């Protein structure tokens, strides 16, 4: 084929036999190459790029809703148009100069050099094409991954059903899947045996799975937490023995900040196997307290005073109304069960409401003559040793005696 091409080229240029004619033909080829390569080609490529870009922008503007505008802007700005234009012009100029070189060699009767170099040139063109296609695929996957991140962020901003944890996980899964697909395509372009590669990856996955069972457990638990959604970032939760605010949820761990300001990291597999108490989920929290009054006091009056005190505390919600009811007989007192709600539920509101309730109820009970008795213990002696006398020992809350016999 190459020999036949050389024969036809030689027949066409057979009239260019003199040195002057060959110089003139060479000059003409050089002028045409420079005119086309440095003047017409860049302008034509730039005009075509503008026309295609305008058409794409029109199609996108007509068919894209507001949720995809951020992703489209990311795609538009991911790779500068000037860079693509320079690459296209450079490749076109390189091809044009190669053709001009072949024409000059043919004019001077040196076509055999073209035939000798052609296999090397074909290999170079093939490898160069593979490199260009591979770079374009990987670069396109990178740009599209950024566009996916922007698109998922826009969807999350417009929807209350997608949490920050789900947004992060969906973005990472989409990006990893896209990059893996691009990498497999690139390996196929370079002729890599994907069957053997997949078999090796399978054995490697088994080995890694057995060596990192806890890590894989945390990874799977991260997916479970994403779909179950027992808590979200910012919630006040209690997980096992840890209590605090959730600051971040990753695929592997749940990050918390406890009430001492300490940063706690709990693996997701432990989170999935623990009882989880979410005190922020309902938007309000009920507080339970107990107070004891003397057996000689009126429980109904004490309950009314306690309810009135609870209603006046600013950090306690009035809907539902707080209430106090006699709940049982203690060793030294009648027990009143105090129940009230805080809205919104925060540790500060819980501590402040309980502290204020204790102070105010103690003060109001004292003004009303209602006692909050100490724990009491009655000691009986055998008749043969004490003559049947009994004594009552009063003790404080820590068991220390405060009064002697009666």
Q: Which are the contacts of 263, defined by CB distance < 8 A and separation ≥ 6?
A: 247, 255, 256, 257
Peptide bond just before 150 cis, omega within 30 deg: no
Instruction: Judge whether 325 and 338 are in contact, CB under 8 Å.
Output: no
Say how far apart CA 21 and CA 15 lie, in whole Å.
9
**Predicted pLDDT at 392:** 52
Closest CA to 2 of 125, 117, 109, 100: 117
Say how far apart CA 177 and CA 227 lie, in whole Å.
19
Closest CA to 342 of 294, 390, 279: 279
How far lies 389's CA from each of 376, 377, 401, in Å? 17, 15, 19
**Predicted pLDDT at 75:** 47
Rg (CA), the chain: 42
**Predicted pLDDT at 71:** 47
276-294 burial, b if ≥16 CB within 10 A, otherwise e? bebbbbeeebebebebbbb
Instruction: Judge whether 298 and 270 are in contact, CB under 8 Å.
Output: no
The dihedral sign for the CA sequence 102, 107, 110, 115: positive
Say how far apart CA 193 and CA 205 lie, in whole Å.
18
Say how far apart CA 363 and CA 370 lie, in whole Å.
10
3-state secondary structure at position 192: coil
**Predicted pLDDT at 360:** 93
pTM above 0.75, yes or no: no
Q: Which are the contacts of 119, defined by CB distance < 8 A and separation ≥ 6?
A: none
**Predicted pLDDT at 249:** 84
Residues of the chain below pLDDT 70 = 1-18, 20, 37, 41, 45, 48-89, 91, 93, 102, 105, 107-118, 120-121, 124, 156-166, 169, 194-216, 383-406
What does the DSSP assignment read for 12-44? Answer: HTTT--SHHHHHHHHHHHHHHHHIIIIIIHHHH
């Amino acid at each position: 084929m190459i020999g036949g091409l050389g024969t036809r080229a030689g027949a066409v240029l057979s009239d260019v036999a003199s040195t002057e004619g060959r110089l003139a033909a060479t000059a003409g080829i050089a002028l045409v190459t420079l005119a086309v390569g440095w003047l017409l080609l860049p302008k034509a490529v730039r005009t075509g790029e503008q026309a295609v870009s305008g058409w794409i922008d029109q199609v996108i503007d007509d068919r894209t809703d507001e949720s995809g505008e951020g992703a489209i802007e990311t795609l538009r700005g991911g790779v500068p148009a000037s860079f693509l234009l320079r690459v296209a012009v450079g490749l076109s100029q390189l091809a044009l100069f190669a053709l001009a070189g072949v024409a000059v060699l043919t004019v001077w009767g040196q076509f055999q050099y073209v035939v000798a170099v052609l296999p090397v040139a074909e290999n170079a063109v093939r490898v160069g094409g593979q490199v260009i296609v591979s770079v374009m695929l990987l670069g396109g996957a990178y740009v599209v991954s950024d566009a996916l991140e922007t698109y998922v962020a826009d969807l999350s901003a417009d929807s209350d059903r997608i949490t920050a944890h789900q947004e992060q996980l969906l973005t990472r899964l989409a990006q990893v899947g896209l990059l893996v697909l691009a990498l497999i395509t690139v390996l196929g372009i370079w002729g890599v045996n994907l069957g053997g590669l997949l078999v090796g990856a399978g054995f490697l996955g088994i080995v890694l799975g057995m060596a990192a069972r806890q890590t894989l457990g945390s990874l799977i638990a991260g997916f479970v937490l994403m779909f179950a959604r027992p808590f979200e970032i910012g919630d006040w939760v209690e997980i096992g023995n840890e209590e605090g605010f959730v600051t971040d949820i990753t695929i592997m761990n749940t990050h918390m900040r406890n009430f001492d300001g300490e940063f706690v990291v709990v693996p997701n597999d432990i989170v999935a196997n623990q009882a989880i108490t979410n005190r922020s989920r309902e938007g309000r929290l009920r507080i339970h307290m107990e107070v004891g009054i003397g057996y000689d006091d009126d429980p109904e009056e004490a309950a009314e005073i306690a309810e009135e005190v609870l209603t006046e505390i600013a950090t306690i919600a009035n809907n539902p109304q707080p209430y106090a009811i006699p709940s049982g007989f203690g060793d030294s007192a009648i027990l009143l069960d105090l129940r009230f709600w805080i809205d919104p539920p925060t540790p500060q509101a819980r501590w402040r409401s309980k502290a204020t309730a204790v102070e105010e109820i103690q003060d109001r009970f004292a003004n009303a003559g209602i006692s909050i008795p100490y724990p009491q213990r009655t000691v009986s002696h055998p008749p043969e040793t004490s003559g049947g006398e009994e004594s009552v020992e009063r003790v404080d809350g820590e068991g220390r005696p405060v009064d002697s016999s009666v």
